[in-house]
Chain A
Amino acid sequence: GAVVSQHPSRVICKSGTSVKIECRSLDFQATTMFWYRQFPKQSLMLMATSNEGSKATYEQGVEKDKFLINHASLTLSTLTVTSAHPEDSSFYICSARNLAGGRETQYFGPGTRLLVL
């Protein structure tokens, strides 16, 4: 089946640094990818929708200058947390939408756990 990978799986960084998280669809092309954030014991909250070749669409309350999204190809979207602070520590999950054959299928990455010291 289709696989979505995320790299890194875990990252620890100092406050003030920037962290880039990659999301790749390994065996299909994804014109749309999504970025989610999950705090401990909470549901996933959609942060933004990443569209290949165009600007990302951010959900209300998500700072686009802090969470930079780039969807440069049909198999790669990146999320950069700029000037990270401890409150940005969270579990970040991406998903890729596969519309092949006219049937929508959503594949989730394994997540990236970010800890900002």
Chain B
Amino acid sequence: AQSVTQLDSHVSVSEGTPVLLRCNYSSSYSPSLFWYVQHPNKGLQLLLKYTSAATLVKGINGFEAEFKKSETSFHLTKPSAHMSDAAEYFCVVSSMKTSYDKVIFGPGTSLSVIP
């Protein structure tokens, strides 16, 4: 069984300050982990993904995430927030066990950036 928890439903930061969006997962198998961003009334955009290679994953727009197996975490960070980062962020877990495995979305974290 797989599950994803995003501990904060809403995060607010000032422009230029660091961003931390937390994600914890549960998976019976070695998971693939993803972070997606969704701007208002738009589709999903992949920020980055972890698939058992390097534990520190760099994505687009300056975002990165670190896979920590001992903590079952995959937190998303960015050193300096930009106004355009305001959006909904989803942590996603999937397994490569079989082609029938599901992709599970976390509940999402809404990021606000204050000027």
Q: Is A bound to B?
A: yes
Residues on A close to B: CB < 8 A?
Answer: 31-32, 34, 36, 41-46, 49, 51, 57, 93, 95, 97, 99, 103-106, 108-111, 113
Find out whether the CB atom of B34 lies under 8 angstroms from the CB atom of A106: yes
Tell me, rounded to whole Å, the shortest Cβ–Cβ distance linking B6 to chain A.
9
Residue among A31, A95, A110, A113 making CB contact with B103, cutoff 8 Å: A95
For this complex, 28 residue pairs linking A to B, each with C-beta atoms less than 8 Å apart, are A32-B100, A42-B107, A43-B90, A43-B106, A43-B107, A44-B44, A45-B105, A46-B102, A46-B103, A46-B104, A46-B105, A49-B100, A57-B100, A93-B44, A95-B103, A97-B99, A99-B99, A103-B51, A104-B32, A104-B94, A105-B49, A106-B92, A106-B94, A108-B36, A108-B43, A109-B43, A110-B42, A110-B43
Tell me, rounded to whole Å, the shortest Cβ–Cβ distance linking B87 to chain A.
12
| B114 beta carbon closer than 8 Å to chain A | no
CB within 8 Å for A104 and B96 given contacts A43-B106, A43-B107, A44-B90: yes
Find out whether the CB atom of B103 lies under 8 angstroms from the CB atom of A106: yes
For window 1-54 of B, CB contacts with A under 8 Å fall at: 32, 34, 36, 41-44, 46, 49, 51
Find out whether the CB atom of A108 lies under 8 angstroms from the CB atom of B44: yes
Find out whether the CB atom of A43 lies under 8 angstroms from the CB atom of B103: no
Find out whether the CB atom of B102 lies under 8 angstroms from the CB atom of A34: yes
Beyond A46-B104, A57-B100: 12 further Cβ-contacts under 8 Å? A42-B107, A43-B90, A43-B107, A43-B108, A44-B44, A46-B103, A46-B105, A104-B51, A106-B34, A106-B94, A106-B103, A108-B46
CB within 8 Å for A111 and B102 given contacts A43-B107, A44-B90, A104-B94: no
